Amino acid sequence: MFAPSPASTPMFWLLDMAGIAVFAASGALTAARQRLDIVAAWFFAIITAIGGGSVRDLLIGAPVFWIRQSAPVVVCLVTATATWLTPGRWQPRRSLEWLDALGLAAYAVYGASKAMHYGVAPAPAIAMGVVTACMGGVIRDVTAGVPSILLRQELYVTAALLAATSYVALSLLGVDEAVAAPVSFLAGVSLRGAALGWNLALPRHRG
């Protein structure tokens, strides 16, 4: 029998909604920067925000989270509308990257936690955290026809891996979720932020 979803606790509900909101904003911002209409912004917001979680739920045998509740889609639509209506001059130059950083860390922690609640072993749970965090952005980039974030020499997947691994490790050590989740989230955001600020990257293969 499956354990209760982490979304039933306030901490993880907030992480889930935060991940959905910031990824929806990044999807809508992609549409706005390509001068697309509001419907396109809604579409990009939804695929970015729910893509990774949908893949995760299918893989771990959980009900796909946005099918049984309206909140994720409503959050996507409201966030996308607000983002699309915001004049470009009011948006920071690197707003897309920073929104991605916040969503990446939140979803990595939430994805790993949900996988563990459904009985997934620690190593696959970490992988589910990375899938949850990265897949929506990949779908967004491919759909928009821009180079995928995975192909850029940036610490992106690595930041998701750090957040998910930190959460799983702290959980196995018996650290309370109320501590493990924010600490892991901050670890992922910090690494991604450092990569954005100082162009950190892992060494390339020499060929």
Express each pLDDT in 48-70 by its tens digit: 999 999 999 999 999 999 998 89
- The span from the CA of 190 to the CA of 186, in Å, is 6
> What integer pLDDT is reported at residue 5 of this predicted model?
55
Confidence of residue 7 (pLDDT cuts 50, 70, 90): low
Lowest-pLDDT range of 72-86, 148-162, 177-191: 148-162
> Residues 107-111: what's their mean pLDDT?
96
- Taking residue 183's Cβ as centre, other Cβ atoms within 10 Å add up to 15
Angle at 48 between CA 44 and CA 54, to 5 degrees: 125
Tokens 């893949």, located at residue: 55
Read off the pTM.
Answer: 0.92
> What integer pLDDT is reported at residue 1 of this predicted model?
33
Express each pLDDT in 13-49 by its tens digit: 888 899 999 999 999 999 998 999 999 999 999 999 9
- The span from the CA of 101 to the CA of 190, in Å, is 9
Helix/strand/coil for 112: helix
Instruction: Name which of 100, 125, 136, 141 is nearest 180 in CA terms.
Output: 125
Tokens 């996507």, located at residue: 76
Express each pLDDT in 115-128 by its tens digit: 999 999 999 999 99
Lowest-pLDDT range of 23-27, 89-93, 166-170, 179-183: 89-93
Are 192 and 155 in contact by the 8 Å Cβ rule? The answer is: yes
Question: What's the N-to-C CA distance of the chain in angstroms?
Answer: 48
- The span from the CA of 202 to the CA of 85, in Å, is 37
How large a percentage of the chain has pLDDT more than 90?
72
Helix/strand/coil for 59: helix
> What integer pLDDT is reported at residue 124 of this predicted model?
98
